[in-house]
Chains A and B, each alone.
Chain A
C-alpha cells in the first residue's frame, strides 16, 4: 500500500482553499440574486434567500435590456468570428503557401498588430466612423473586432499551413484542382484544429470586450452584454439585488459553455497563447 505523504495533504488543502477563493464569490452573487430586496441583502448578505424569486432576473433581462444585449453580443461575435476566420485563414494561406516576394514582410506587418493596444486607434476610428454613419451600428463594431482578431488568427494559421506536407498540395495539383479548391477543399479542412483554437480565442475576447463597444454604441437596443451590464449601474445604482442578477445573466452563458467543454477550451486557449 502506498503511503500518503503529508506534503500531499498540504498541497490538496491549499488547492481546495484556492478553489473556494475562486468559486465562493460566484456563489455569493448567485445567492444574492435570488434575494427579494436590498433590505435582506443589508441584514443578512450571506444567508440563503428567504423566498427565492426570479423577479430580479426578469427585471434585469427586460427592463435592464440584458436580453437584447445578449442577442447583440451573439450576433456581433458570431459574425466577427466567421469573418475573421475566413479572412485570416485566407491571408495565412497566402503567406504560408503562395510564392511571392512580400510574404514574410506582410506576416511581420500583421504581427505588429498584436502589440498595438486598441486604445490608440479609438479616437480616429470613432471620428471616422461618425462621419460614415458607422457609429451606433453593429457593423461599426464588427469591423474593428475582425481586424483585432486577424493577427492571432493569421499567426496560428500560418503555423498550421506551413506544417502541411508539400505532397498534399502537389497531388491536388496533379488532379487538376484550382488554387481555390486546394484552399477550401484540402487545406482548410485540415486546419480545423487551428481554426477551432483561434475561433475560441476570438469569440471569448470579443464577447468580453468593453471599451470599443462602449464608445461606439449609444443606442440601448444595440449595446452588447458587457456595456449593458456596466451601464446597468447607472439607473439602478442602488438596486443591488437586481445588479447581482444582471451579473449572473452576463456570465452564465460563458460558464455553461465552459463547463461543457472546459478541457477543450482550456487546452485550445493555451495552445493559442503558446503560439501567440
Chain B
C-alpha cells in the first residue's frame, strides 16, 4: 500500500493540474504585478513596461484620491468588523434563544448573502435616490416636502466620512451580516447545554452566562469571521461601483474602485499595479493582525 501511495506518477497526475493552474493564474501574475508597479506602463504604449523604480509609489503619496480611497477602505474595514461583530452576535444570540420560526428568520437574514451585490447595489441606489425611494416614502408618511429638503444620500459630499460612505457601509452590513450571524450561531449551538445549566444553578443570569461562557468559547470564531469581514471589506468593489461609481467627485472611491479607474479608465497599468500591491500588503497585514490579537488560545469544547 505504501508503494501505491508513494507512486511518483500518481503524485504528479494528482497535483500537477492544480499547481500549474495556481502558479500560472495567481502566483506568476502577482510577481508580474509587483514588477509592473515599478514600471511606467500605459496600455497604449508600444514598447511595453519601462522600469522607473518607485516613482509610482511616490505618485501615490501625492494622489489625493488615493488617500480618500485608503481612508474609505479603512473606514469600511473598521465599520464592518465592529458592526458585523455586534449585530452578528446579537442576532445569533436572539435566534438561538427562540424555537418557533428560527429557521425562517435565519434564512431571511441570510438571503442577501447569496444574491449578486451588483444587483443589490443598483437596488439600494434606487432606494436612496432623492426623487423617489426613501425620501418619497418619508414624505408619504407625512413629513412635508421631504423630497425637496431631505438629505441627498448618495450625492452628499460633506464631512470627513461622507454620507454616501455610511449608506454604502449600511448596505454592506445589511447584505453580509447573515454570514457572521450564521458563523456565530453554528459555534453557539455547539456549546454544551450542561455548561449553561451549571451556570444557572450557580446563580448566573442569562446575560452573565453569555459574558462568561458564550463569549470566550466563540472567540476563535470571532477571529475567523473578522478576517473574513476584513479581507472582504478591503476587496470591496461591487456595491460601491454600482451605487456611486466612486462619485461624487471621487468621494466614495475605495482602493478597488480606484485601481479599476486608474487601470482601465485611464489605462495606467503601472500605477494601478502599485495600488494593487498596496491592497495586497494591507490584506496580509490585517489578517496577520487579527489572528494575532483575537485568536489567542483555543478552548476545548
A and B directly contacting (CB within 8 A): yes
Q: In the complex, are the beta carbons of A251 and B116 less than 8 A apart?
A: yes
Decide if B107 touches A266 in the complex (CB within 8 Å).
yes
Whether B10 contacts A144 by the Cβ 8 Å rule is no
Q: Is the CB of B238 within 8 A of A210?
A: yes
Cβ-defined contact, A11 with B98, below 8 A: yes
Mask: chain A, 238-276; 1 = CB below 8 Å from B; 0 = not: 001001100100110011001000110110011101101
Residues of A within 8 A of B269 (CB): 123, 127
B191 at the A interface (CB under 8 A): no
Instruction: Given the known inter-chain contacts A123-B269, A169-B1, please indicate yes or no for A18 contacting B182, CB distance below 8 A.
Output: no
Flag if B33 contacts A120 (CB, 8 Å): yes
- Chain B minimum-CB-distance residue to A213: B118
Interface residues of A, dominant DSSP:
helix
Q: How far is the CB of B56 from chain A (nearest CB, A)?
A: 12
Complex: chain B residue closest to A225, CB-CB: B116
* Chain B residue at minimal CB-CB distance from A11: B94
Residue A57 at the B interface, CB < 8 A? no
Residue A15 at the chain B interface, CB threshold 8 Å: yes
Knowing A11-B94, A22-B109, A99-B6 touch, does A270 contact B25 (C-beta < 8 A)?
A: no
Which residue of A121, A247, A250 contacts B25 across the interface (Cβ within 8 Å)?
A121
Interface size on B, residues (CB 8 A): 91
Check A98/B17 contact, CB under 8 A, given A109-B22, A230-B118, A262-B107: no
Q: How many A-B residue pairs have CB under 8 A?
A: 259
Q: Indicate if the CB atoms of B182 and A269 lie closer than 8 Å.
A: yes
B89 to chain A, nearest CB (A): 15
Q: Are A94 and B15 in contact (CB under 8 A)?
A: yes
> Nearest A residue to B259 by beta-carbon distance?
A119
Distance in Å: Cβ of B86 to nearest Cβ of chain A:
14
Whether a CB of chain B sits under 8 angstroms from the CB of A194 is: no
Per-residue A-contact encoding for B275-286, CB less than 8 Å = 1, 0 else: 011011001100
Least CB distance from B137 to A in Å reads: 6
Closest Cβ of chain B: how far from A5's Cβ, in Å? 11
Q: Does B196 contact A (CB under 8 A)?
A: no
CA gap between A125 and B26 in the complex, in Å: 9
- Residues of chain A with a CB closer than 8 A to B234's CB: 117
Per a CB cutoff under 8 Å, which of A14, A42, A87 touches B18?
Answer: A87
Contacts of A251 in B (CB 8 A): 115-116, 119-120
CA–CA, A207 to B273, complex, Å?
26
- In the assembled complex, how far is the CB of residue B46 from the closest CB belonging to chain A, in whole angstroms? 13
Asked if B119 and A147 make an inter-chain contact with CB atoms under 8 angstroms apart, the answer reads no
B21 touches A123 (CB 8 A): no
| B57-65, B123-131, B152-160 - the one binding chain A | B123-131
B48 to chain A, nearest CB (A): 9
What 1/0 flags go to B1-35 for Cβ under 8 Å of A?
11011110011011101110110011011101100
Residue in contact with A274 in the complex, picked from B26, B94, B136, B221, CB distance below 8 Å? B221
Q: Is B111 an interface residue (CB 8 A)?
A: yes
**B241 and A266: CB pair below 8 A?**
no
Contacts of B97 in A (CB 8 A): 11
Taking Cβ atoms with an 8 Å cutoff, the residues of B that contact A are 1-2, 4-7, 10-11, 13-15, 17-19, 21-22, 25-26, 28-30, 32-33, 36, 91, 94-95, 97-98, 101, 103, 105-120, 122-124, 126-127, 131-133, 136-137, 140, 174, 179, 182-183, 185-187, 221, 224, 228, 231, 234-235, 237-238, 241-242, 255-256, 259-260, 263-264, 269, 272-273, 276-277, 279-280, 283-284, 287
Give 9 A-B pairs besides A124-B30, A179-B10, A274-B221 with Cβ atoms closer than 8 angstroms: A98-B5, A98-B6, A99-B5, A115-B287, A119-B260, A121-B29, A229-B119, A262-B107, A273-B182
